[in-house]
Amino acid sequence: MSRQLLEYHSVIGYRFIPGLKARVEHEAGGYLVRTNGAGFRCDREFLPARGPSRRALLFGDSYTAGDGVSNGKRYGDLLETMVPNLEVYNFGLSGSGTDQQYLAYREFARGIERDLVIIAVFVENIMRVNARYRFFRNENNEEVLYEKPYFSLGAEGLTLHGVPPERRPLREMDLPPDARSRIDAGGRFASLRLLARRLGIKDLAQRITRYNPVVEYNRPDDPRWLLMRALLAEWIREIGGPVLVVPVPLYQFIEGTSDPSCYQARFAELARDTGCHLHDPLPDLKAYPKEERRAFRFARDVHYTPAGHRALAASLAPAVQSILDAAGS
Amino acid sequence: MSTTILGISSFYHDSAAALVRDGEIVAAAQEERFSRKKHDPRFPRHAINYCLEEAFIEADELDAIVFYDNPLLTWDRVVKNCVMAGEPAFEQFEKAAASILGIKLWVQDYARRTLGCLGRSGRVLFTDHHFAHAASAFYPSPFREAAILTLDGVGEWDTTAIGRGDDDGIELAQVIEYPHSLGLLYSAFTYFCGFKVNSGEYKLMGLAPYGRPVYERIIRDNLIDLKDDGSFRLNMEYFGYLDSFRMTNERFDALFGGPPRQPESRITRREMDLAMSVQAVLEDAVLRLARHARRESGAPNLVMAGGVALNCVANGKLLREGIFDHIWIQPASGDAGGALGAALMAAHGYFGSPRRMSPGGRDTLKGSYLGPAYSSAEVRAFLERHGYPYERIEDPDGRARTVAQALADGKVTGFLSGRMEFGPRALGARSIIGDPRSETMQSTMNLKIKYRESFRPFAPSCLAENAAEYFDLDVESPYMLLVAPVREERCIPFDREAFYNNEDMLQIINQARSDLPAITHVDFSARVQTVHPDDHPDYYRLIRAFREITGFGVIINTSFNVRGEPIVCSPADAYRCFMRTEMDLLVLEDCLLWKSNQPAFAEAGDWRKDYELD
């Protein structure tokens, strides 16, 4: 039993409880969580004015917030040690979609001076962007369903819905049938995945079937990708300065059981059309020996281990350095 | 170089963890508070998690992990006990062997699995059980030199130990070995009177003042041979714990006129008199041991630990007897405190960390507020998430006045404030509080709030500087470990003999015994907590506000739980307990919740079945 980590937020849905110091029990022993006064898992307080350091704002989900690892061991923190004179403001929010990360930017980061905004898109986030509800595990290890804010894409562009979201947990059985189809269960074939995991054959089954966890990227005109793309494009446009988009790969891609080409193509198209920087860390991560790549995730938890974070940071650091140097900051 | 040590106790009852850094006590907590299983004996993974959280360190930064007991010595006792007792003990041996060989010898594996590593040393250290108790008592005490007395059921071979502490060192000079045990003697009567062993001992102590010591002579003549120096031997012909799973046997039954009382059945005059009788014997034994310890050690101060040291009636007698100039008792005296003792033992005895003394002459236990705290932001996050209505009063004085007025108006209040207590007593951080002036408050709080036996007394918390106005007590009692008489001029005499001639306890419970009836026990005593502003400013402020409103600087303080439930830890635990009982007000840090404003609280199933009655 760990502490409650998240609190309700009327626009984003939730954020970390400000000023928190916690240790979360975990299969690897446990990890330390510290949040700042703004309610993000960052050792730094967010100051509007930049000091002598170069500053990057980092957005993402649990892979960026660092589920499974202590604050100092996350790739965002490691970047600070690898890129000279860099401070990283980590806005990572566990369980969030890119839509909520965009809202976090609008709510908390717009007025903060920076040299670079890094949008780390865990490629599975596309499902969350297309969902209106999501299951979470609370501090009592119970699965609870919450409403989330979401965008729709129409002729007029993006429209925000579900704000403020319902603050209390919902019951799936109480939702109308069409709403139930908008629940993000954390991937495709939830029941089959559960069964395969219980039988201990999940990895094997995925390898044999060449399981593609994110079919939403298969076609450039898939409406789910179009929504994701519109979101990212609007966000990038709104930022106005240097933006680095980083597709954070699922383990299936790192370990070579799934073909990443579709999502890679979509993000390449996005970068081409918006003019943002793109860094795909997958080739660097795949360059590690097989055993090391397996050690990038925990035995059961699929989040990155400290080794995974180190590898991701090592891949990212030259790209970040290069953008900052080019900007002359 | 900084040294950080994690102490662990587990696998018997009341598992716990404690963390000590450079000799300073950083954190300590019992596993039951997190797992919500009373007296949880399992490996304390949640408590360990909390300790690392409080210190905010990674497991690989621990210099040592120390276990409070030596499993090999315990194994030695189990084997020899079986050999001595012969065939009847085989079944007991099987169970004990499975426990020790199956679990206790694998402490290292449990620790590795829980922490992910074994710290810098790569292994688990072990202390002896009574050394851990002794360390838990001596090192945090305010004394540079002290006699040490540890008393419990059994730890490895020993049940009683006498020694001496000097500066950074501890020495245990004399021990009494199993099966001769004051703790087990008391537990035998606890069992015989229908209460649960290892948790019902408090009830037996609370029951004692209702009785007369009519069985004392029988106990002395048949069960215990008590020498002048406090050493003793039990007559094992009357006890079952050597060769069975019962504490007593048929001969014991015959000695006291029949079989044990069935749990939850009516308490009769026999149980009341038995409770008083064994209490009298225990007190005599403790006094004799203390006198012997004084003679042997030559020290002017005494420190105590071990489960028997939680007998606050005996402690009060010991204090008033004046054998020592000062006494200090570890509030987590049971096995939970062994985790702290093990960590302190390693800090000072193994790593050589210098002992820290409080410059003010007080102890270094920080009021025993060593558990987790929850910030106002965390409380509000919990309340907002569930939509529970609350009022926030940020000004501490204004908040204290509001709560004090509610108490004065007869409202029973759940109070969660600051770091949770370590040890079995609630000391104002996780307490249910009320107005002690009410004649019916004792039975109301017992029956409608705590859902426990109506005879059980409540304890008072008072401002440290005002204690002598209410009690014959001239020392601090911050841990509620001393029973003191209520001042004579406050007491209202009643006909005790009439009570002794019938068995209706309620008759006396609802009878005013002083101008503080709810905290005055039937023998005009009270288990006092003196509150010092340095230990818990908010609690101190509340009592002071109550004094300003009512003229009485005393409130009722009982643990924040219902019968069979561990004391609450988190805001969620507190809210749940609040809604399950007839409490009127809940204070969660700076947020106040009135029962009348709360939405209906629906739970699946009967929560009473979640808790095994103690």
Among candidate residues A82, A211, A62, A174, the one with its CA nearest the CA of residue A128: A62
Give me the amino acid identity at A51.
Answer: G
DSSP character string of A257-294: SS--HHHHHHHHHHHHHH--EE---HHHHHTS-HHHHH
Indicate the residue among B327, B354, B389 that finishes a domain: B327
Q: Are residues B342 and B321 in the same domain?
A: no
Asked whether the CA dihedral B598, B602, B606, B611 is positive or negative, the reply is negative
pLDDT tens figures, B6-57: 999 998 889 999 999 999 999 999 999 999 999 999 999 999 999 999 999 9
Residues of chain B scoring pLDDT < 70: 75-76, 79-105, 613
Q: Are strands B525-531 and B459-463 parallel, antiparallel or unpaired?
A: parallel
If one counts the domains in chain B, the total is 3
Average pLDDT, rounded, for chain A: 93
Query: How far apart are the CA of A121 and the nearest CA of chain B, in angstroms?
Result: 28
Single out the residue of A67, A127, A121, A125 nearest to residue A244, CA to CA: A121
Q: How far apart are CA B107 and CA A196, in angstroms?
A: 33
Q: B53: which chain A residues are within 8 Å (Cβ-Cβ)?
A: 21-23, 32
B215 and B241 both lie in a single domain: yes
Question: How many Cβ pairs within 8 Å bridge chains A and B?
Answer: 67
Cis (ω within 30 of 0) for the bond into A260?
no
User: What pLDDT, on the 0 to 100 scale, is given for residue B85?
Assistant: 63
Task: Give the amino acid at B106.
Answer: W
Separation of CA B327 from chain center:
17
Q: Dig out the tokens for A38 from the structure.
A: 């703004």
Question: Residue B99 domain-assigned?
Answer: yes
Residue B300 lies in a domain: yes
Residues A30, B59: C-beta atoms closer than 8 Å: yes
Residues of B with CB under 8 A from a CB of A: 34-35, 45-46, 49-50, 52-53, 56-59, 114-117, 372, 374-375, 377-378, 380-382, 384-387, 570, 572
* Chain B residues within an 8 Å CB radius of A8: 381, 384-385
Tell me how far apart the alpha carbons of residues B605 and B259 are, in angstroms, rounded to a whole number. Answer: 35
Cβ burial of B439 (10 Å; 0-12, 13-18, 19+) is: middle
For residue B294, the model assigns a pLDDT of 97
CB-CB neighbours of A44 under 10 Å: 15
Residue of B53, B382, B387 with shortest CB distance to A23: B53
Among B53, B114, B385, whose Cβ lies nearest the Cβ of A29? B114
B388 CA: distance to closest CA in chain A (Å): 11
User: Contact at 8 Å (CB) between B524 and B512?
Assistant: no
Nearest to B372 by CA among B598, B590, B49: B49
Name the CATH architecture for the domain at A6-185+217-327: 3-Layer(aba) Sandwich (3.40)
DSSP string, A185-246: -SSS-HHHHHHHHHHT-HHHHHHHHT--S-GGGSSTT-HHHHHHHHHHHHHHHHH-S-EEEE
Residue B166 within any structural domain of the chain: no
Report the largest interatomic distance among the alpha carbons of chain B, rounded to a whole angstrom.
Answer: 68
- Of A20, A23, A70, nearest to B49 by CB-CB distance is A23
Residue B77 maps to a domain: yes
User: Which pLDDT belongs to residue B447?
Assistant: 81
CB contact under 8 A, B59 and A2: no
CATH code, domain carrying B389: 3.90.870.20
- In the prediction, which pLDDT does B483 show? 94
What is the SS3 assignment for A296? coil
Mutate which of B378, B419, B570, B576 to disrupt the A interface (most A C-beta within 10 Å)? Answer: B378
Determine phi and psi for B267, rounding to 5 degrees. -85, 125
Same domain, B12 and B68: yes
Which CATH number characterizes residue B199's domain?
A: 3.30.420.40
Contact yes or no for B377 and A20 at CB 8 A: yes
Same domain, B359 and B392: no
Chain A residues whose CB is inside 8 A of the B56 CB are: 21, 23, 32, 34
The span from the CA of A126 to the CA of A123, in Å, is 6
Contact assignment for B116 to A23 by CB distance below 8 Å: no
All residues of chain A having their beta carbon less than 8 Å from the beta carbon of residue B115 are 29-30
Q: Are B56 and A21 an interchain contact pair (Cβ–Cβ within 8 Å)?
A: yes
Question: B194 and B47: one domain?
Answer: no
CB within 8 Å: B387 and A168: yes
The secondary structure of residue A60, as a DSSP letter, is -
Asked if B117 and A29 come within 8 Å (Cβ–Cβ), the reply is yes
Option in A1, A28, A30 nearest B34 (CB): A1
> What is the DSSP secondary-structure string of B468-512?
HHHBS--S--TTS-EEEEBPGGGB----HHHHHTS--HHHHHTS-
Contact: B117, A28; criterion CB under 8 Å: no
Q: Give the model confidence (pLDDT) of B125-167 as tens digits.
A: 999 999 999 999 999 999 999 999 999 999 988 999 999 999 9
Nearest CA-CA partner of A229 in A267, A193, A199: A267
How far is residue A73's CA from residue A70's CA, in Å, rounded to a whole number? 6
Is B157 within a domain? no
- Chain A CB contacts of B387 under 8 Å are 167-168
Are residues B217 and B276 located together in one domain of the fold?
A: yes
Give the per-residue pLDDT at B83: 66
Mean pLDDT confidence for A136-162: 91
Least confident of A9-23, A242-256, B238-252: B238-252
Say yes or no for a CB contact (<8 Å) between A23 and B117.
no
Contacts A168 to B, Cβ<8 Å: 385-387
The answer, yes or no, to whether residue A110 has pLDDT greater than 90, is yes
Beta strands in B138-247 (DSSP E): 145-155, 158-166, 169-177, 224-226, 232-234
For residue B346, what are the domain limits? 4-137+331-364
Cβ-based neighbours of B179, under 8 Å, separated by 6 or more:
B81, B154, B159, B234, B236, B239, B241, B242
**Residues B268, B197 share a domain:** yes
Contact state of A4 with B385 under an 8 Å Cβ cutoff? yes
> Do the domain assignments include residue B336?
yes
B13 classed as catalytic: yes
Token look-up 């390693």 returns B346
Nearest Cβ partner for A32 among B50, B58, B381: B58
> Residues B114, B257: one domain?
no
ipTM comes to 0.92
